[in-house]
Structure 1
Amino acid sequence: MNIETVQQVRPKRKYIPLPFLVIFIGYLVFGFSENIKGPAIPRIQTDFAIDELQIGMLLAFNSLGFLLACSFTGVLTSRYGIKLSSLLAFGSMTAAGVFIYYSSHYFTFSLSYFFMYIGNGMLEIALAILAARVFTKNTGFMMNLSHFFYGLSSTVAPIMATGLMGMHVFGGELGWRGMYVLMLSLCLIPMIPTIFSKFPENNATVEERIPLKVYIKDPAAWFIIIILSLGVIAELSMAGWLVNFLEKSYHWSSTASSAMLSVFFLCFMLGRLLLGVITDKIGFMTSLIIFSAIAGIATILATLIGSSGVWLFALAGIGIAPIYPTVMALLAKRYPNGIDAAISFTVTLMGIAVVLGNFMIGAIIDFFKEWFSSLHGAEIGLTRGFQAGFIFIGLCALLCSVASVILYRYLQRKNEVI
């Protein structure tokens, strides 16, 4: 047997390409940065003496940072490559943790949080574009698998955040400021494979690429934006408000409330891990219709039933989970030669919707809290305010399902269902 024969017989060594590690670890740290805020918000609210409307405005202001990053990251990636965009995203999120730690006033804290969301927005676009270029086979499954890592870190983030905030270091409590420094410093880890990775470029020639003006004129593109926006509002609102809701309305402890949020993200994580295969089999549009409807119904029922129905929020997590990765897979399949522009434009407009959504939820909670407080007392008023806010979150998920039905029928008429 000669050397050539031996080389043919010897099995090829399987390995995970570095871009895969960047995507998976990137979504892992992204989940931490997004979902440690749940347990932290009640303490931030206490330290700065701010009300629910101001919390809603803070989250909306942060979404503006996310939106700002989405508006320029696509151009930055096209000109200088995904590597630079990814490194800037991870680096800015790490720096934001330091800024948050040294924020002694609400104004400086808001600016620091805003800066963190700029990093989040840059990472959102960079990872989405990279995933669309890398996952060319079994796109629905691979998109859900990559976002599984977001769900994994989101599951443990509330419990880790609660535990870290209560830790004593050098004779003092770490608190929410120290917790943010430690958690955001994890963004240094994915910078290592990013530095050594060779990322795929956009193979489409300039002539083949779909111009943004063509994408904007496609009615399907606008329905995709609506679907994604409503789904993300439901997802991020649950992460941002659930702990506050359980602590202040049902008098749950901080540990129990954070554990419930972790259960939500556990179901969220399992949904992304297991439903990706189903998404590829039954189709992207059918998946969006079914799962967003489940999320909306479960959220509204959990809110109306009361403390005994809180477990239904976990079911909502299963329904919310596939929405974002499925829409990303839909974009990758429908606009393969214009994916950079499609993702940047879609996520930018989604950011606008999330800004409005965060503000509206805070305003709804504050309005119904004041209304019912004047009639039935402060405690009932606060509970009714939060319930009104969560019913709005459930309605967003239901409207996501309705918009998916409309888009499905539109694509059916044009014989373009994916």
Structure 2
Amino acid sequence: MEKRPARIQQRLNKVYVLQVATIFVGFVIFGISENIKGPAIPRIQFDFMLSEAQVGTLLSLNSLGYLIACSFTAYLTRLWGIKRVTVMAFASMTIAGVFMFLAQQFGWFTASYFLMYIGNGMLEIALAILGARIFVRNTGMMMNIAHGFYGLSSIAAPLIATGLMKVTIYGYTLDWRGMYLVMLSLSIIPMILTLMGKFPEAEEETAERTPVSTLLRDPALWLTVLILTFGVVSELAVGGWLVNFLEKAYDWDTVSASGMLSMFFVCFTFARLFLGTLTDRFGYTLSLIVFSLASGLCTFGALIFGEPAAFLFALSGAGIAMIYPTVMALIAKRYPKESDTVITFTVTLMGVGSVIGNYLIGGVIEVTKHLYGSDTSLGLLRGLQAGYGVIGLCALLCTVSGIVLYSYLHKRKEIV
């Protein structure tokens, strides 16, 4: 019997299976932690008596935790290895769930949420670096499939969160505090997988790595940062604002609004699982332009045509889903030896954009409400429409940045 090729043998061994399982399940937990906030935020806002601007500030401060984690995770990965850093990330998220459950004051809750985003940031960098190292063939497809597991959990997360908040155990209703405790405790599962696995560390390169100063002079790198930032701000903002928008602008109940958010992630996940192969076929840069444009047009279409076109909010997920993993694939191909450095740099600056983006959305809502009447239903509607319009604008700015990048790379015959 003919012996299997070494590459196939490697892909079937236990080490590789555990690596892939860690990435896939890690993205499941990431999706849960990011998207259970949709149905929880209106209740958090009510319990702590927060304005829309304060909600935007809360989300921005939490994104700051994500940003801080991104800035030091690559260093910790080189110092301690991906395995330890990944375990720390899952542990942070589990502990954050316990603190949220105990939180009775807004300051304590904010600190707990901040800790969760520290874990999210560490996990994001660790999974991205690991993916860049092991997905050496069909990179775009594999990156999109891996990130598709984020979408899978995101589909179910809002509905599960809504259901858990109504569960009563021995006369105690879980509400949003108990829901966060239960959902974030699931981080223990991938933590066990991580402890069982063996992770590839950075190989010692015989050739010198490109100096950071040289990388920073590359216009393509900065354009990649813009694409990733605008794309991710548009993606993540949906989880925080769509349910709030539908409940307050169209008077939807929580179940219906959460269902629309889940439909967003159905489209989101379908795109990553089944359209990722198109990015390898048509090229990463062109794919970024097409998919971000589709998302932006859907978002503005939903706002312009009103409640009957609300399904376009969900459909926009198919376009915006492709941005993050396709950028990671582009980085892995264009900067193969410096992928860890470039990933850290781009994701860190993306975190800055997330902080500004969430704050901007909340601020735009408040300013527009004042223009139309803060205490009127019209003022609330116009404010929410303007705030959500920022999400669509970010998608279109992602398109513009992609066109500029395509033009730059085309002139240099370096299209990726």
TM-score category (smaller protein): over 0.9
Residue equivalent to 2:27: 27
Where does structure 2 lack aligned partners over 5 or more consecutive residues? none
Is this contact kept in 2: 1:302–1:313, CA < 8 A?
Answer: yes
Pair 1:204–1:221, CA change in 2 (3 A): farther
Residue of structure 2 equivalent to 1:392: 390
Report the equivalent of 2:133.
Answer: 133
Q: Which letter does structure 2 place at the counterpart of 1:404?
A: G
Between 204-213 and 265-274, report the one with greater CA deviation.
Answer: 204-213
Q: CA separation in 2, counterparts of 1:49 and 1:191?
A: 36
Q: What is the TM-score of this pair, normalised by structure 2? A: 0.96
What is the CA distance between 1:7 and its match in structure 2?
Answer: 7.1
**Closer, same or farther: CA 383–341 of 1 in aligned 2, 3 Å:** same
**Residues 288 and 322 of structure 1 are in contact (CA less than 8 Å); yes or no, is this contact kept in structure 2?**
yes
Number of equivalenced pairs: 411
CA shift in 2, pair 1:363/1:18, >3 Å: same
Q: Name the counterpart of 1:414.
A: 412
**Deviation per residue, 1:111-153 (Å, 9 max, x gap):** 1101110000000100000100010110000000000000000
Q: Look up the SS of the partner of 1:199 in the other structure.
A: coil
Corresponding residue for residue 338 of structure 2: 338
Q: Could you tell me how far apart the structure 1 residues matched to 2:332 and 2:86 are?
A: 20
Match of 1:112 in 2: 112
Q: How many angstroms does 1:327 deviate by?
A: 0.2
Question: What is the rounded CA distance, in whole Å, between the counterparts of 2:68 and 2:289 in structure 1?
Answer: 30
Aligned residue for 2:186, secondary structure, equals helix
Q: Distance in 2 between matches of 1:343 and 1:279?
A: 19
- What are the Cα deviations for residues 359-408 of structure 1, in whole angstroms up to 9, with x where unaligned? 0000001111121125xx51111111010011111111011001000000
Unaligned runs of 5+ in 1: none
Distance in 2 (CA, whole Å) between partners of 1:264 and 1:340 is 31
Residue deviations 1:318-370 (CA, integer Å, cap 9, x gap): 01010000000000111110111111111000000110011000000111112
- TM-score w.r.t. the length of structure 1 is 0.96
**What residue in structure 2 maps to residue 267 of structure 1?**
267
Residue in 2 aligned with 1:401? 399
Contact 1:204 1:337 in 2 (8 A): no
Q: Distance in 1 between matches of 2:255 and 2:281?
A: 39
In structure 2, the residue matched to 1:183 is 183
- 2:303 corresponds in structure 1 to 303
Percent identical residues: 54
- CA 382–277 in structure 1, closer or farther in 2 if over 3 Å, else same: same
1:209, CA displacement in angstroms?
2.2
Would you identify which runs of 4 or more consecutive aligned residues in structure 1 move more than 6 Å? Answer: 6-9
Equivalence for 1:244? 244
1:279 aligns to what? Answer: 279
Query: Aligned in 2, Cα 1:17/1:208: closer, same or farther, shift over 3 Å?
Result: farther
Deviations 1:178-197 (A, max 9, x none): 00000001111011121121
Q: Aligned partners of 1:92 and 1:398: how far apart in 2?
A: 35
- Does the aligned pair in 2 maintain the 1:228–1:327 contact within 8 Å? yes
Q: Which moved more, 1:137-146 or 1:302-311?
A: 302-311
Q: 1:156 is matched with which residue?
A: 156
What do residues 247-273 of structure 1 show as CA deviations (whole Å, max 9, x unaligned)? 011010000000000000010000111
